[in-house]
A = this chain, B = another copy of it.
Amino acid sequence: MARDPQPGRDDDGRDGARTPQHPAPAHSAREIAAAWERERPGTPVSSIGIVTPIWQLAKLFGDDRRRVLARAGVDTATLDLLSVLRRSGPPYALSTRELGHRSLVTAGAVSQRVARAEQEGLVTREATGGRPRTVLVTLTPAGHDLVEATVDQVLHREAGLVAGLTPEQQTRLTELLHVLLTDVQHRMGDDRLSQVGGE
């Protein structure tokens, strides 16, 4: 969720963003937590300061990346697939199972991504007689070229977006995010924890 507190007084009203359609504002985690406290005293707001900005940043980064890649005629899901293969090094081939693990998407999503990329000649798919049934996805020269032509653009752009933080802040943020991510992955592993926990 992402939202804000008060309808009335505000500060924006300036400039008209050029970006496609959507607006920019979106209110801060601080304001959202305050609004819950005001409307529903006792609401457990402690996680909002972390979860909300993470969600908002992911949305902003994701939308931005999609727009940058649209110019190159690729979509983010395809570039993600190709990048994973490219990064894995020669022979640039992985099983669909491995692809799902590394991209955090379901097997069905991998199947569809690969089918689209194969259609465009960016990867090939071959059934190796693995144990139960392993399918190996391999990067084609065209796929390799596409990664080379776009990945620096994306990373360079994103480096610019986080450049507002000092090197020390970037380091500290990276560390904290790493700790949180590791811990969250661990907790999700043992789900059935409190899952919903009721009141």
The chain A residues found within 8 Å of chain B, CB to CB, are 1-7, 15-30, 32, 35-36, 38-40, 43-51, 53-62, 64, 68, 71, 76, 79-80, 83-84, 86-89, 94, 98, 100-108, 148, 151-162, 164-165, 169-170, 172-174, 176-189, 191-199
Contact = CB atoms under 8 A, between A and B. Distances in A.
Given A23-B101, A196-B68, A43 B1 contact: no
Give chain A's interface secondary structure class. Answer: helix
A56 B181 contact: yes
Contacts of A102: 2-4, 25-27
20 contacts: A1-B103, A1-B154, A3-B83, A7-B89, A36-B87, A38-B89, A43-B151, A44-B152, A45-B155, A48-B155, A55-B62, A68-B196, A156-B199, A157-B195, A160-B187, A161-B184, A165-B176, A165-B179, A172-B172, A172-B176
Report copies per complex.
2
Contacts of A60: 104, 181, 184-185, 188
Q: Which 6 residue pairs are nearest across A and B when measured between Cβ atoms?
A: A164-B183, A58-B58, A49-B174, A3-B84, A53-B177, A153-B198
A18 B19 CA distance: 40
Nearest to A80: B1
Contacts of A17: 189, 191
